[in-house]
Amino acid sequence: MGDPIPSTQKLKPTTSFSLPPGCRFHPSQQELVSYYLASKNRDPDPNPDENFFNGYDLIRELNLFDYDPFELPDDTCFSYGFGGRKRHWYCYCCASSSRIRSRRKTKNGYWKRNGKVRDVVGPCGRVQVGSRKSFVFYLGNSPETAFRTSWVLYEYALADHLKVWSCLHVKAN
């Protein structure tokens, strides 16, 4: 059949898979918790030898706190918009590693909690399926000298569940 787009005009994909034109990965909070995070916690280590595709495989495992937000790897990035200018990063992080660091330090700054814990509700709007915490990235290592950036992190966790994995969503406002 051949490739309709010459190789010189192809954009470098930012993820290890390719979505068809016009499609983007932009799950709702409910989908992140009810489908992706619940599936990941149900089967935290799928057999890599199987050629079985799980939907939660779209999101990669990453220790987010080893990176500053502007240095995040491309394989966790989902870009959209004209020319892929808008970028969102989704990753799974071991819940214990995200809770040990109360201020969630990185190399050149830290994530500071912003606001209160929000409930993520199910499809009927009555049942809580998870929670969402929001954080803002501060560049600098001490609160006296650090300044606030436009980077925002949302940490999603399942409600009433042994939290093995949490799902993190990072974006620049």
**Cα–Cα distance for residue pair 118/157, rounded to 1 Å:** 11
- Structure tokens that stand for 137 in this block: 């990235």
Strand partners, 168: 91, 155
For residue 8, which amino acid is it? Answer: T
- Joined together, the tokens standing for residue 1 give 């059949």
Tokens of 87: 């970028």
CATH numeric code, 27-43+55-172: 2.170.150.80
pTM for the complete prediction? 0.75
Percent of the chain whose predicted confidence (pLDDT) is above 70: 65
User: If pLDDT is split at 50, 70 and 90, which confidence band does 136 have?
Assistant: very high
- Structure confidence by residue, pLDDT tens digits, 6-33: 444 333 333 445 566 666 777 888 888 8
Residue 165 pairs with which residues in a beta bridge? Answer: 94
Q: pLDDT per residue over 87-131, tens digit each?
A: 788 888 876 544 554 558 888 999 999 989 899 988 887 889 899
- Residues 24 and 46: their CA atoms lie apart, in Å, by 25
80 pLDDT exceeds 90?
Answer: no
pLDDT computed for residue 140 by the predictor: 93
pLDDT at 69 over 70: yes
Distance CA 80, CA 31 (A): 19
Q: What was the pLDDT predicted at 19?
A: 61
